[in-house]
Amino acid sequence: MTPQYQLTAPAPRTSPRHTPRLRLKPKASTRGYVDGAWWPHTSNLAAELPDLLAVLSVRLGQIDRVLYNVGEWSKAPTKLAAGGRRVRLDAYQRQPVNTLEIVGHDRERIVLLTVPVETDPAEAHCALMSAARSNDRSTATDILVAAQHAD
């Protein structure tokens, strides 16, 4: 009799349809106030998140939850299908402005500076690059203000 083995498939990993405008600090770097920055194309969180979460799942694994500031995004559902599972979306008034917190299944998290949609491309690029520097410990507001004054 031949032994039978039950194979389990890994959780489905989806590729982003559109590459997010995202920069992250190196994984082994010292953490700062933010772990990187993201510049979404629209203020529709439900439309923007699937591609972002597909990319971040490479670093975090299974993503369970996203925390965001309720005043910065158009109305979003409380759950979103992403990567073959449901991700909880939690809107808070006290979530720091211009940040998004992505929480993995093992409670590991990534905090991103969210560059406002209407930001000038040169300023947005500067903010993305600053937030991703391994030694940067600036707040989200400090990074955005510095990007406005960079020449």
Which residues of the chain register pLDDT less than 50?
A: 1-13
Q: Model's pTM, two decimal places?
A: 0.84
For residue 5, the 8-state DSSP code is: -
Among residues 38, 29, 89, which one has the least CA distance to residue 64? 89
Cα–Cα distance between 59 and 54 in angstroms, integer? Answer: 10
Domains parsed from the chain with CATH numbers: 22-149 (3.30.2320)
pLDDT computed for residue 103 by the predictor: 96
The sheet with strand 109-114 has its strands ordered as 22-24, 36-38, 109-114, 99-104, 63-69, 85-92, 79-82
What's residue 29's pLDDT? 63
Q: 47 to each of 18, 23, 35, 136, how far by Cα in Å? A: 11, 19, 22, 30
